[in-house]
Amino acid sequence: MLLPQLRRRDATRRLEGKCLSNPPANAAIMEPPGAPTTPADTEGPLAMAKSSAVPHADRIAKTDAEWRAQLTPEQYYVTRQHGTERAGTSPLNKEKRAGLFTCVCCGESLFASRAKFDSGTGWPSFDKPADGAAVSEHEDQALFMRRTEVRCSRCEAHLGHVFPDGPRETTGLRYCINGAALKFKPDDT
* DSSP 8-state code for residue 86: P
Is 176 a known active-site residue? yes
What is the set of domains in the chain, with CATH numbers?
3-14+24-31+45-186 (2.170.150.20)
pLDDT tens-place string over residues 28-68:
333 333 333 333 333 333 444 444 455 556 889 999 999 99
Q: Which of 103, 105, 106, 176 is catalytic?
A: 176
pLDDT at 26 exceeding the cut of 80: no
Greater pLDDT, 110 or 54: 110
Give Cα 4 distance to the centre of its chain.
21
Of 181, 84, 163, 86, the closest CA to residue 127 belongs to 163
Q: What is the pLDDT of residue 140?
A: 86
Q: Is the pTM of this model over 0.95?
A: no
